[in-house]
Amino acid sequence: MVKENSNAVKKKRKANTTEADAETDIYKKACDFEENESQNRNSSEDAELFFQICQEIHDFLDQVRELKQSSGDTSQKLSCLTDIVVKICVIKKLNRLDKLAHVLGREALNTEKQKCDSIKLTYQNLVYELHHLVTETNKCLSFKSEDEDIELVSFEDFMKNAPEAVSKKFIDFDPNDSEQDHALRLARLEWELTQRKNLAEECKALEEKKKKVVEEITERKERLNDLLPLLTTVIKATKPLQEHLGMSSELTRKEHKLAPLLSDPLYVLYANIVAYKSVFETNINVSILGDKDDATQFNEAQEVSHSNNLNEEDSEPESDLPEVEEVVEVKKRRHRKSVQQVDPVEEKKKKLLEVHPLTVQLSLSITDGPSLVIIFSYYTKLKTITVKSQVDMPSNFTSDTAREILSGHNILSELLDNDTGMESPNPSTAYQLKKLGLGSFQTLVPDIGYAYGWAQSICGIDFLTPKRYCDKLSQQSVETILKITKKRLNTRTHLAKQMQQLEKNILSEIPEELQIPTTAISSLNKWSSTTYQDFCLAEYTQHLLDENLVSQSDLFYSAKISRDEATLNLYIVIRNTYPIPAPIVALCLDYKGKYTSTNCDEIRDLERTINIDWNYGIRSSSWLLSAQITHLCSYLDVYLETLDSNVFQPNAKFIRSVSGRNKKRPFKFRKIGTGLFTQY
C-alpha cells in the first residue's frame, strides 16, 4: 500500500512538472515569436495601424453611446463592446511589440557601444605602442658615441701614413657601405690611439727637457743679478773719462730720472718718442720741462686728495659764497685796506684748469728749414692733453705770408681730418664747463692751448675704454703722427717759399716735365693774405660757400693779375692738407664791367680748368701753387685775345678762338712745339 501511494505521488508530480514545462515552453515560444515579429514589423505601419484602431474604437464607442441613448439592441451593443475589447488587445499587442523593439534596439546599441569602446581601446594601445616605437627609434637615430667627438686625421692622411696592413683593406672603400664605413671608423680610431700614445711619450720627453732649460735660465738670472752692482761700479769709475771725452749723458739720465714724475699720459708719450728716436729719427729731440720739486709736491698732493674729485670740491659753492660776503662786510667796517674780495668764478676756473708742473717738449727740424717746437701739457681735471707750438724760422723767411703759413697752429691744424683742436676730445669737458658756467672750450684755447685729437692718441688716451692710458695705442699713433707732422712741415716750408716769391710778384720754378706755358704776357701784380670774413663778403665767392668747399680753418689769400686795361681779381683758398687737394681759386675779371662765374660762362670755364686735374700728389708741394698762377696768367691772355684781339695783341697760339655750341675758349695747353692752346 505504501509503495502504491508513493508511486502515485511520483506520477502526480511528474504530471504537474510536465504541465509546468509545457506552459513555460508556450510562454517562451510566445515571447520568441513576439520578439521576432517586433524585429520584422515596420514601425511606421504599426503607427498607422494604431491610429486606425484608435479611430475605430472611437467609432464603436459612439455607436455604443447612440445605442444607449436610443435603447437599441443589446446584442449589437455587446458586439460593439466585444470589438472594442479586441481592438484594445491589438493595441496592447502593438504596445508590447513597440517595447520589445525599443529593448532590442537598446541592447543592439549597447552591443555596438561595447564594440566601439573595444576598438577605441585597441586604437589607443596601438597609438601608444607607435609613440613608444617612434621615441625609441629617435633615440637610436640620435645616439652619439663619444668617439664622434674625437678629431681624427683625414682619410687621405690615414691612407698615406697608416701601416699598409691596415690601409690596404680600404683601397676600394665605398662610403655608401655601412659595414665598410664602420670598419674604417674602427681602424682610424685604433690608428689615432697609437699616434696619441707616441705623442704622449714625446710630450713627456719635452717636459723633462723644459725643466732642464728652466733650471738653466734661473741660474743665468742669478748671475745677471749679481752683475748689476759690478756694472754700477764700472759706470761710476768711467764717469771722469766720459766727461773728458765729451761723452757725458748726464742730461739724458736726469731726464730719465725725471720721467717717472710725469703724468701717466705724458710718460707714455715721452717713452714712445724716445724709443722711436732711437730707431728711426735723428732730427727729433724730446725733453722734459719743469721743476722736479714742484712735480714731487704736486704728485703727493694728488695722492692725498685722490678720493676728492672735482664734483665733491664744487659741492660747497653755496657755503663758500656767504663767507665771502661776510668778509666783504668786515672789510667795509674794519679792514677796508687789507681784505680783498675773491672772485668765485676765477677760483672755479683756476681749480678746473689745474695743470701738471712737468711738460714734454718735442722738436722737429728739417735741413735748411724751420724747426717746429711742440709743448705737450696735461690738465688733470679736464683729463686732456693740450698743445702749444712755435716755429723757429731761418733768416731767409722775411715775408709776412711765409711767416703766417709757418705758424705753429697752422702746421698742426687738421693733421687728421677735421681735427682743429678747438673742441675738447673728452666728452665730459663740455659738461664740466657748463656746470661751472665757464662758456665753451674755445674761450680757453688761448690760455691752455689746442686739444688736438691726435695729441690724445699719441699719449695713449682713449676716452671710450675703461683703461685710461693705453701704451699700445700710443705706439701705433706716435709713428703715424710724427711722419704726418714731418711731411706737413716739409710741405709748409715749400709753400712758404712760394709765398715769399709770390709776395715779390715772382713765380717759383716749375719742373720741365710739366706742360707749362712760358709765353704769358699777363703778370701777377699783388699777393696778400686775407681773412675768412673778407672771403665771405666777396660777391664772386658765394658759390664756393654754398657748396661747402671751404671752411673757416682754411688759409685765404687774394691776388691780382693784370694785362693792360684788364685786371683779374682772385681769391685763393689753401686747405691745411696742401697740396692734397689743390688750392681753390675764385675769379672776377674787371674789363668793361665785372665778370664772374655766375654771369660769364668763360670765367666759369676758366675756374673749372684752373681748379681741377692737379693730381700730382705730395711731390707737387714745392711748385703746385706757382703752376696754377702760371696757367692762370696764360689762360687770361687767351681769353683777352679771343675776346678783343684789336686791343690785346695776339701772343698765344690756338687753332680756333671758340668751338662748339657753347663757344668754348681754348683753355687747354698742349706742349706741341712752343705750345698750343686747344678747347679739348
DSSP 497-562: HHHHHHHTT-PPP--TTS--------EEEEEEEE-HHHHHHSGGGHHHHHTT---TTSEEEEEEEE
Q: Which pLDDT score is estimated for 326? A: 38
Q: What DSSP state is assigned to residue 652?
A: S
Q: List the grid coordinates of 668.
A: 687747354
User: Which are the contacts of 666, defined by CB distance < 8 A and separation ≥ 6?
Assistant: 638, 642, 652, 654, 655, 656, 657, 659, 677, 678, 679
- Answer whether residue 25 shows pLDDT above 60: yes
CA distance 500 to 579: 17
- Answer whether residue 407 shows pLDDT above 60: yes
Do β-strands 523-530 and 384-392 pair in parallel, antiparallel, or remain unpaired? unpaired
Q: Which pLDDT score is estimated for 23? A: 61
Give me the residue label for grid cell 709757418: 406
Q: Which pLDDT score is estimated for 316? A: 47
Lowest mean pLDDT among 102-106, 454-458, 500-504: 102-106
Q: Which pLDDT score is estimated for 468? A: 56
Helices (H) and strands (E) in the chain, counts: 22, 11
Predicted confidence band at 321 (pLDDT cuts at 50, 70, 90)?
Answer: very low
Mean pLDDT, rounded, for 532-561: 91
**How far is residue 94 from each of residues 55, 80, 99, 602, measured CA to CA in Å?**
15, 21, 9, 125
Q: What percent of the chain has pLDDT over 90?
A: 24
Predicted confidence band at 331 (pLDDT cuts at 50, 70, 90)?
Answer: very low
Q: Which pLDDT score is estimated for 477? A: 84
Lowest mean pLDDT among 26-40, 311-325, 584-598: 311-325
**How far is residue 567 from each of residues 15, 73, 525, 590, 613, measured CA to CA in Å?**
164, 160, 9, 5, 25
- Answer whether residue 583 shows pLDDT above 90: yes
**Per-residue 3-state assignment (H helix, E strand, C coil) for 400-420:** HHHHHHCCHHHHHCCCCCCCC
Can you name the residues that pair with 480 across neighbouring β-strands?
Answer: none
DSSP letters spanning 69-136: HHT--HHHHHHHHHHHHHHHHHHHHHHHHHHHHHHHHHHHHHHHHHHHHHHHHHHHHHHHHHHHHHHH
Chain center to CA of 650: 62
Q: Which pLDDT score is estimated for 185? A: 81
The answer to whether 159 and 167 have CB atoms below 8 angstroms apart is: yes
Give me the residue label for grid cell 699598409: 164
Range list of H helices, 245-361:
250-258, 264-279, 292-304, 310-313, 317-333, 344-352
Q: Which pLDDT score is estimated for 451? A: 92
Q: List the grid coordinates of 140.
A: 637610436
Q: List the grid coordinates of 674.
A: 712752343
Tens of pLDDT, residues 493-512: 999 999 888 888 888 888 87
The answer to whether 375 and 389 have CB atoms below 8 angstroms apart is: yes
Predicted confidence band at 393 (pLDDT cuts at 50, 70, 90)?
Answer: confident
The SS3 call for residue 355 is strand
Give me the residue label for grid cell 447612440: 66
Predicted confidence band at 248 (pLDDT cuts at 50, 70, 90)?
Answer: low
Q: List the grid coordinates of 444.
A: 680757453
CA distance 603 to 173: 82
Lowest mean pLDDT among 230-244, 254-268, 307-321, 432-446: 307-321
CA distance 647 to 641: 8
CA distance 649 to 52: 143
- Closest alpha carbon to 153 in 161, 145, 141: 161
- Answer whether residue 328 shows pLDDT above 60: no
Cα within 13 Å of Cα(47), Cβ side: 3
- Closest alpha carbon to 587 in 531, 628, 643, 546: 628
Backbone angles phi, psi at 336, to 5 degrees: -65, -30
Q: What is the number of residues in the chain?
A: 680
Q: Which pLDDT score is estimated for 530? A: 93
Q: Which pLDDT score is estimated for 249? A: 61
Mean pLDDT, rounded, for 444-456: 90
Chain center to CA of 608: 39
Do β-strands 555-563 and 523-530 pair in parallel, antiparallel, or remain unpaired? antiparallel
Mean pLDDT, rounded, for 103-127: 91
Under the phi-then-psi rule, with left for phi > 0, alpha for psi from -120 to 50, and beta for the rest, what region is 368? Answer: left
Q: Which pLDDT score is estimated for 312? A: 54
The b/e string for 246-280 (b: 16+ C-beta within 10 A; e otherwise) is eeeeeeeeebeebbebbbebbbbbbbbbeebbeee
- Answer whether residue 335 shows pLDDT above 50: no
Predicted confidence band at 130 (pLDDT cuts at 50, 70, 90)?
Answer: very high
- Answer whether residue 119 shows pLDDT above 80: yes
Q: Which pLDDT score is estimated for 334? A: 46
Give me the residue label for grid cell 688750392: 583
- Answer whether residue 338 shows pLDDT above 50: no
Q: What DSSP state is assigned to residue 619?
A: G
Bigger pLDDT: 112 or 176? 112
Q: What DSSP state is assigned to residue 600?
A: -
For the chain, which residues make up each domain, given as ranges?
A: 17-137, 258-318+356-493, 505-678
**301-307 contacts: CB < 8 A, separation 24 or more?**
302/380
Q: What percent of the chain has pLDDT over 70?
A: 88
Backbone angles phi, psi at 496, to 5 degrees: -65, -35
CA geometry: angle 123, 124, 125, nearest 5 deg: 90
CB atoms within 10 A of CB 154: 9
User: Which are the contacts of 626, defined by CB distance < 8 A and separation ≥ 6?
Assistant: 498, 501, 502, 507, 508, 509, 510
Predicted confidence band at 360 (pLDDT cuts at 50, 70, 90)?
Answer: very high
- Answer whether residue 1 shows pLDDT above 50: no
Predicted confidence band at 250 (pLDDT cuts at 50, 70, 90)?
Answer: low
Mean pLDDT, rounded, for 232-250: 73
Mean pLDDT, rounded, for 618-633: 90
CA distance 497 to 500: 5
CB atoms within 10 A of CB 15: 10
Predicted confidence band at 246 (pLDDT cuts at 50, 70, 90)?
Answer: low
Burial of 199 (0-12, 13-18, 19+ CB in 10 A): exposed
Predicted confidence band at 395 (pLDDT cuts at 50, 70, 90)?
Answer: confident
In the sheet that holds 555-563, the strands lie side by side as 523-530, 555-563, 566-574, 584-590, 594-596
Bigger pLDDT: 252 or 320? 252
Predicted confidence band at 133 (pLDDT cuts at 50, 70, 90)?
Answer: very high
